[in-house]
Amino acid sequence: MAPVAIDNQTSTNSTHHAKSTKGESVPAPSAFTLDFSQWIGPSATESSKSTFVHQLREASAGLGFFYLLNTPLDQGNLRKRIFDLNEKFFALPLHVRQRISIVNSPHFRGFSKFGDERTQSMVDHRDQIDYGLEYAQGVQDDSLLQQYPFLHLLGPNQFLPDEVLPGHRELVLRWLDICQNISLSLTEALEAALGAPKGSLVQFLTGQSEDQTSSTAHKYARMKTIRYPRAANIDGVQRLQGSTQGVGAHKDGGWITILATSPHRGLQVQSYNGDWIDVDHHPNAMIVNFGQQIERVSRGAITAAAHRVLSHTEDSEHSANLPSGDRYSVAYFSTPALNVVVKSLPSDSLSPEVLSIWQKAQEERKKAGLDTVVTDIPKGDLWGREDDVFGFQAWKGIVRSHPNVVERYNYTA
Ligand SMILES: O=C(O)CCC(=O)C(=O)O
Ligand SMILES: [Fe+2]
């Protein structure tokens, strides 16, 4: 097959208000289920690995969301323990939760009260603890921080002591560590799926590629333990009348997201035709989606999923026949190292298999009367200039989500 240049312009063009010109409803591609043990571990064989890579390729060009079975996160009782921890934390009185308030942390890590976070300038109806890859201490060099404000993101997490929340530090750091490994391993599989040279994507995560801030690789990742409460008033804050925004429509700013949810409905992904599709809870699979940096690196061959979470009150129709109580989730976001320039792969280096899947998707869109993908997210929302290190994008994303931290430390946005 003649190679076709996959171009960022056409593959991920934002057509905010585009509609199917035929006005008919277009069937949406469904989410895929992949088995991680086919890719890595004692039962993986050459043939199972190639099946995995094939499925990953298909999943990457579809909704950009897939289920991943048999990860180490679903072994033993780890998932149950972290969800128990999450529920216990949010059951604590506000003044105890605020002992690890995000505004205590110059590194944007800690508890955000209900109503303190924004997406697309609108308030999110959730509360959460933000974490990042653990660094014993923050960067101390003031002139470096001035030049590269995103280095403020590196530093220690905040945890409640074991007497108050048993296992908090241990469990979260373990979850983070396992997710790091899964994300690296999936990145190796993505290299195979795209036909990219070995190590060409992994280098972005390890920080071993181009380096403009220092000779140190500033590896990075974020994680959140989240609650979407149902009550009308949470910690003295009233829900916005009529708003169902748990977290508003967005594409994750980083690389790969690994998500576990409680059985409650709420997560939705936007199909190429603009429809919002439920991504249901899976009791023994992680939900994986891609972030904007992979979309950029792959020139749009891999879709960064546009998604959102609806947050419903007790009496809404969405709550019917669903488990009562609040929705919880644990989200891990791998990102490129802060010091790397995330360069796109040369378009002629993408494998014919990827190009043909991409072309098929294009043809389907055309048949549906759509020239481009319909999305609520502006194109290249968190893409940087080709020569900027990723840290600047990470900084842009975080400062707009947490204006209270920006104000407390006099950061410039
Ligand atoms: O809570 C969820 O299910 C998803 C959260 C999410 O998309 C995010 O925090 O970026
Ligand atoms: Fe997200």
69-357+374-408: what fold? Jelly Rolls (2.60.120)
Which protein residues touch ligand 1 with a CB less than 6 Å away? 224, 226, 247, 252, 259, 261, 267, 307, 309, 329, 331
Q: Which residues contact 362 (CB under 8 A, 6 or more apart)?
A: 10
With a cut of 60, say whether residue 11 has pLDDT above it: no
pLDDT given for residue 37 in this prediction: 97
Nearest residue to 18 (alpha-carbon basis) of 403, 391, 369, 387: 369
Mind listing the pLDDT tens digit for each residue in 211-270? 555 557 799 999 999 999 988 889 999 888 878 888 989 999 999 999 999 998 899 999
Q: Give the H or E element holding residue 399.
A: helix 391-401
Nearest residue to 293 (alpha-carbon basis) of 339, 347, 248, 335: 335
| Residue whose tokens read 């481009």 | 372
From residue 341, how far is each of 138, 202, 304, 346 by CA, in Å?
22, 13, 19, 15
Strands 65-69 and 32-35: parallel
**How does residue 380 score in pLDDT terms, banded at 50, 70 and 90?**
low
Count the neighbouring beta carbons within 10 Å of the beta carbon of residue 303. 27
Residue nearest to atom 1 of ligand 1 (CA): 329
Atom of ligand 1 nearest to the CA of 307: 7
Spacing, Cα 331 to ligand 1 middle (Å) = 6
Overall average pLDDT of the 276-288 stretch: 93
With a cut of 60, say whether residue 179 has pLDDT above it: yes
With a cut of 50, say whether residue 10 has pLDDT above it: no
pLDDT given for residue 214 in this prediction: 56
In the chain the first and final C-alpha atoms are separated, in Å, by 47
Mind listing the pLDDT tens digit for each residue in 58-100? 888 778 899 999 999 999 999 999 999 999 999 999 999 999 9
**How does residue 360 score in pLDDT terms, banded at 50, 70 and 90?**
confident
Backbone dihedral angles phi then psi of residue 315, each to the nearest 5 degrees: -95, 5
Q: Pick the more confident residue, 29 or 197.
A: 197
With a cut of 60, say whether residue 366 has pLDDT above it: yes
Spacing, Cα 306 to ligand 2 middle (Å) = 8
Name the token pair of 89.
């934390």
Nearest residue to 367 (alpha-carbon basis) of 24, 57, 60, 64: 24
Overall average pLDDT of the 123-139 stretch: 94
d(CA 63, CA 397): 23
Is the interface score ipTM higher than 0.95?
Answer: yes
Is residue 7 a contact partner of residue 347, using CB atoms and an 8 Å limit? yes
Residues less than 5 Å from ion ligand 2, measured at CB: 252
d(CA 206, CA 84): 32
Nearest residue to 222 (alpha-carbon basis) of 408, 383, 400, 395: 395
d(CA 51, CA 69): 14
pTM of the model: 0.91
Which ligand number lies closest to the CA of residue 304?
2
Which ligand number lies closest to the CA of residue 247?
1
- CA 372 and chain centroid, separation: 23
Nearest residue to 150 (alpha-carbon basis) of 224, 226, 225, 214: 214
Backbone dihedral angles phi then psi of residue 172, each to the nearest 5 degrees: -65, -45
Residue nearest to atom 10 of ligand 1 (CA): 252
